[in-house]
Amino acid sequence: MVVSVRKWLRRFIFIALLCILTVAMYGGCRFIAAWIAPADPYRIPQGQALKVFHSQMDWNMESSISERLRLFYWYGE
């Protein structure tokens, strides 16, 4: 059985480059994702901005489910 050192060296270099480039691409994607994401998306807005979502919803017991569903479709929210 003949073992070619060049052939194994090429395979090793290919696998090493593949691993290095995969890690570099993964790191680049993580860097871009961290760069794009806001620092704190749940902070209180500054300036003239308004936060329109409240974690405690105002449940109006007088309105029925059908009324709420109609308003949901009407406003498209």
For 5-48, write each residue's pLDDT tens digit.
Answer: 999 999 999 999 999 999 999 999 999 988 888 777 677 777 78
pLDDT of residue 71: 74
19, 23, 61, 67 from 70: Cα distances, Å: 54, 50, 16, 5
Which residues have a Cβ under 8 Å from the Cβ of 51 and sit 6 or more positions away?
Answer: 44, 45
- Tell which wins on pLDDT, 76 or 65: 65
pLDDT tens per residue across span 43-72: 777 778 766 665 555 555 566 777 777 777
Calculate the CA dihedral of residues 21, 27, 32, 33 and round it to 10 degrees: 130
pTM here?
Answer: 0.49
